[in-house]
Amino acid sequence: MNKILAVVAHPDDETILCGGTLALLARAGAAVHILCATRGEGGELGEPPLCAREDLGRVREQEMRCAVDALGGVSVEFLNYIDPAVGENEELHPYTDDFDELTQRLRDHIQQLCPDAVITHGSNGEYGHAAHVLTHRAVVAAVEHAALYTFSPSFPEHPRPRLANADDHADLILDISTAFEQKVAAAYCHRTQNALFVRRSSKRAGRQLSIPEVLMKVEGLHRVIGLLDDRLVDVLETFRLKVAG
Ligand SMILES: [Zn+2]
């Protein structure tokens, strides 16, 4: 069986940025494992708040386990870094200054799991999130034998351009509509973040949008090194969208 490891900075990144892809891979027979650097302790509490600040990490861990179940994943582990609170002017911070230690911990985890492929944040941290960029760089430094892909690359029809990594071209653009219900269920698992998911898009649309309305039905992958197993590529190819140009 193929093993896929998705490495993300915060609970919910796995769903919002590559949930459909992970669900399709799981359905294709891959064992999908998730490694999350933090428990999202610095994130939102929900509207209205669903827990106290000091309980948020514990709550978000459970939310993430619910989401990964919905996506068909087999395990969730945490590196136990603490997610710093969002700054007063919405600045987003990395969760550690010790790049070498993070890389070593990732390397140890990857060596133990032996995944065929690793999927992680893009080189621009999607919208420039410092914790996403840090995770990307450390994973790139840590992966030695597995194939390595990044999610949310840029492509002309990207459904959420703000989430696209400008410097990563898409090698694969996937129509994830057959896994969309699983992605929606996973997004609802992240209850503390549900208001956040729709806020920016609702503001832009001038009306309150629902979670299914804001989730991407098309996802992409950028290949950094190596290749997925042929059989998984064949499965993903069946969902490939034709790229214009
Ligand atoms: Zn994140």
Query: For every one of its 245 residues, what pLDDT tens digit does the chain have, with 9 covering 90 and above?
Result: 789 999 999 999 999 999 999 999 999 889 999 999 999 999 999 999 999 999 999 999 999 999 999 999 999 999 999 999 887 777 888 999 999 999 999 999 999 999 999 999 999 999 999 999 999 999 999 999 888 999 999 999 899 999 999 999 998 899 999 999 999 999 999 999 999 999 999 999 999 999 999 999 999 999 988 666 666 666 666 666 544 33
Dist. CA 225 → ligand 1 center (Å)? 23
Dist. CA 13 → ligand 1 center (Å)? 5
Q: What is the pLDDT of residue 238?
A: 63
Contact 6, 131 (CB under 8 A): no
- What are the angstrom distances between the C-alpha of 202 and each of 58, 180, 214? 29, 20, 9
Dist. CA 178 → ligand 1 center (Å)? 25
Dist. CA 130 → ligand 1 center (Å)? 9
Q: What is the pLDDT of residue 232?
A: 66
Dist. CA 245 → ligand 1 center (Å)? 31
Quote the pTM value. 0.94
Dist. CA 239 → ligand 1 center (Å)? 26
Q: What is the pLDDT of residue 28?
A: 87
Helices vs. strands in the chain: H and E counts, helices first: 9, 9
Dist. CA 86 → ligand 1 center (Å)? 12
Dist. CA 230 → ligand 1 center (Å)? 30
Q: What is the pLDDT of residue 183?
A: 98
- What are the angstrom distances between the C-alpha of 58 and each of 11, 45, 52, 99, 194? 11, 12, 10, 25, 17
Contact 35, 9 (CB under 8 A): no
Dist. CA 242 → ligand 1 center (Å)? 29
Q: What is the pLDDT of residue 230?
A: 66
SS3 36: strand
Residue 227 sits at φ, ψ, to 5 deg, of: -135, 145
> How many C-beta atoms surround the C-beta of residue 218 within 10 A?
18
Is 209 exposed, middle or buried (CB count within 10 Å of its CB: 0-12, 13-18, 19+)? middle
Dist. CA 14 → ligand 1 center (Å)? 9
Q: What is the pLDDT of residue 40?
A: 97
Dist. CA 207 → ligand 1 center (Å)? 25
Q: What is the pLDDT of residue 231?
A: 63
Domains of the chain: 3-237 (3.40.50.10320)
Note if the bond before 48 is cis, omega within 30 degrees.
Answer: yes
Contact 155, 173 (CB under 8 A): yes
